[in-house]
Amino acid sequence: MNKPGTYSLILFASAITALFVGCNGENQNQTTAVTTATPPPAQVLKVVPRPNHILELMKQRGEQDEAKPVLKIVAPAQNGVINGSTVQVRLSLNGDLKGYQPHKDEATGMGNHIHVILDNQPYEAYYNLDQPFELRNVADGDHTLRVFPSRPWHESYKNLGAFQMVKFSVKNGGADASKPATTNSGQQISNVNSNAATTHEGKDMQNSTAGSVDPNKPLLTYSRPKGEYKGAEADPIMIDFWFANAKLHDNGGGTYRVRYSIDGGEARYIDKWAPVWLSGWFPGKHTIKMDLVDESGALVDNGGYNSTTREITVVK
């Protein structure tokens, strides 16, 4: 975010100002004019309430936001071994759904969906549970898969049973590690069944393997923000995560805190498990670092997944 050119200009302007003050005390107007070349304002991010357009969407959705969706990972199986680099993901959705169903509205490109996370990569969106979701180009080795249901605006459901994780491994996959990361977008026609070509959702995956994650220990799963934000979408931007196997400080006597920092700035804390909306983003690239810490501020490790840094782009 530094702009060396701008700062040199300011230094130069200050030098000129000093010169004027030094040699001609009467030239106050000139001095004032030059010193108004102030440095660019720093980005100040404020926590703001849930925005009105989301409140409006919630109203239109009836009871859906009170749903308690329960996911089950049908495939890959826990500790399963996959031959080949394409991993078929199958999920079943149950629980108290109150009308909640994953579905992409073709007109808006939005809808309820599932966040699917291979290892600790950014999530991919899975819309049509009637079709398997393909993770393509998955590297040989051990992996984890994490899933949880999401609303159209990418806020996760946080009820018991919404989040699931399995470990599996890939053998003889021959995945191309040199492939660029997730450049293919979404849908692809697959002729798995020659009689009826089916549309599979799926994504090329980055080269990664599992951390040594203990499924019973406190686990922070980074979800949002992700990708590119444009116009009204970029103000405010939501921070959201899944937290399993423990409680945060303000959720009934928990001892954990989520610490985040934007662009390497001050540490901020989330003590109650809920999305946080931040307003005031400058255009450009930003980093978001999200850590799980204990009350002394020490990182609580779990296979490396409890400390995640992501980059997003804000376009205005």
Q: Rank residues 170 and 276 by Cβ distance to Cu ion and give the closer one.
A: 276
Give the residue among 47, 2, 80, 92 at the shortest CA–CA distance from 276. Answer: 47
Name the closest residue to Cu ion (Cβ).
Answer: 154
Q: Rank residues 24 and 313 by Cβ distance to Cu ion and give the closer one.
A: 313
Dist. CA 138–CA 64, nearest whole Å: 34
Q: Shortest Cβ distance from residue 150 to Cu ion (Å)?
A: 4
Q: Rank residues 105 and 176 by Cβ distance to Cu ion and give the closer one.
A: 105
Q: Shortest Cβ distance from residue 125 to Cu ion (Å)?
A: 5
Q: Shortest Cβ distance from residue 116 to Cu ion (Å)?
A: 10
Q: Rank residues 85 and 150 by Cβ distance to Cu ion and give the closer one.
A: 150
Per the DSSP assignment, residues forming a β-bridge with 151 are none
Q: Rank residues 147 and 300 by Cβ distance to Cu ion and give the closer one.
A: 147
| Residue that the structure tokens 């040594």 belong to | 212
Q: Shortest Cβ distance from residue 86 to Cu ion (Å)?
A: 23
Q: Shortest Cβ distance from residue 124 to Cu ion (Å)?
A: 9
DSSP state of 247: -
Q: How far is CA 33 from CA 245, 272, 291, in A?
A: 59, 48, 46
Which residues in this chain contact Cu ion in the complex, by CB under 5 A?
150, 154
213: which residues sit within 8 A by CB, 6+ positions away? Answer: 144, 165, 167, 219, 302, 303, 305
| Residue that the structure tokens 């937290």 belong to | 243
